[in-house]
C-alpha cells in the first residue's frame, strides 16, 4: 500500500473563521480534510488582514480584541505561514479569478505559487483557474 500524499491546504478567510469558531458552516468533508494527520494547514497574512477588517467593521467579534485573538490563534494552532513575496504579487495577474477583489487574487496567487489547495466557500474563487481549489462541503 502506498503512502498517502500530504494535502497542503490554504485557508480562505471564511473557511478559516468557520474552522476556528467550529461554525456549522464548515462542511463535514472540509472538516475531515482539516483534521487529517497528513494535512498541512497554511495561512496567508491576507487572511489575517481580512479577519482584522471584518472585526473592525463589526462583522465578526474577536475576543478579547483582534490583535490578541490573532496572536492566540497563531500560538494555539499549527499553521504554516504562506508569505507574501514578489512571486505571489506577480501571480495575481497570472491566475484567473472571477472578480477583482485584491484579497481573493492574493489568495489564489498564493495557492499557485506554493502549490497549495485553497479551500473556500466563495463561488467566484471556485470558478477560477490557475490554482488548486476545493469547495467547502
* Res 10 pLDDT > 50: yes
Mean model confidence pLDDT for the chain: 94
How confident is the model over 26-67, as pLDDT tens digits?
Answer: 999 999 999 998 999 999 999 999 999 999 999 999 999 999
Q: Is 47 exposed, middle or buried (0-12, 13-18, 19+ CB in 10 A)?
A: buried
Q: Residue 4: its pLDDT value, please?
A: 59
Q: Residue 100's pLDDT band (boundaries 50, 70, 90)? A: confident
* Res 3 pLDDT > 60: no
| Domains of the chain listed by start with CATH number | 7-44+78-135 (3.40.50.1010)
Q: Residue 1: its pLDDT value, please?
A: 41
* Res 135 pLDDT > 90: yes
- Which of 8, 3, 5, 6 has the alpha carbon at shortest distance from 79? 8
Amino acid at each position: 500500500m502506498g503512502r498517502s500524499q500530504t494535502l497542503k491546504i490554504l485557508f480562505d478567510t471564511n473557511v478559516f473563521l468557520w474552522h476556528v469558531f467550529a461554525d456549522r458552516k464548515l462542511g463535514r468533508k472540509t472538516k475531515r480534510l482539516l483534521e487529517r494527520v497528513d494535512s498541512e494547514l497554511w495561512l496567508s497574512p491576507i487572511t489575517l488582514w481580512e479577519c482584522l477588517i471584518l472585526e473592525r467593521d463589526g462583522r465578526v467579534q474577536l475576543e478579547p480584541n483582534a490583535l490578541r485573538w490573532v496572536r492566540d490563534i497563531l500560538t494555539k494552532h499549527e499553521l504554516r505561514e504562506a508569505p507574501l513575496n514578489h512571486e505571489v504579487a506577480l501571480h495575481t495577474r497570472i491566475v484567473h479569478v472571477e472578480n477583482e477583489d485584491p484579497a481573493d487574487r492574493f489568495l489564489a496567487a498564493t495557492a499557485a505559487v506554493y502549490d497549495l489547495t485553497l479551500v473556500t466557500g466563495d463561488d467566484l474563487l471556485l470558478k477560477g483557474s490557475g490554482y488548486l481549489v476545493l469547495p467547502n462541503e
